[in-house]
Amino acid sequence: MVVTLRIVGRPVWWVLLGFIPIANLVLLIIPIDLAKSFGKGTGFGIGLILLAPIFYPILAFGDASYQGPTAAADGTACATA
């Protein structure tokens, strides 16, 4: 989870949101950010949420290339060292 947060540009403390019952819904943003980090759209990110066993291999073995953290580009992430 920490590696995924670093890939999408979100702060690492978001891992703690998984332990808070209502706030863990915010973690649904991460697959959408992951899709955007690899040049895919929001629809592909929703596919990562709903059909993960199909869409993660497509992302891993397809022709998508990493384009950088999208969350850092829109200014919503804080810097991580």
- 51-59 average pLDDT score: 96
Q: Residue ranges of the domains in the chain? A: 2-70
Other C-beta atoms within 10 Å of 73: how many?
13
In the structure encoding, which two tokens stand for residue 72, read together? 């850092």
- 67-76 average pLDDT score: 73
Cα–Cα dist 2/80, whole Å: 11
Question: Would you say the C-alpha torsion 19, 16, 43, 62 has a positive or negative sign?
Answer: negative
pLDDT tops 90 at residue 49 = yes
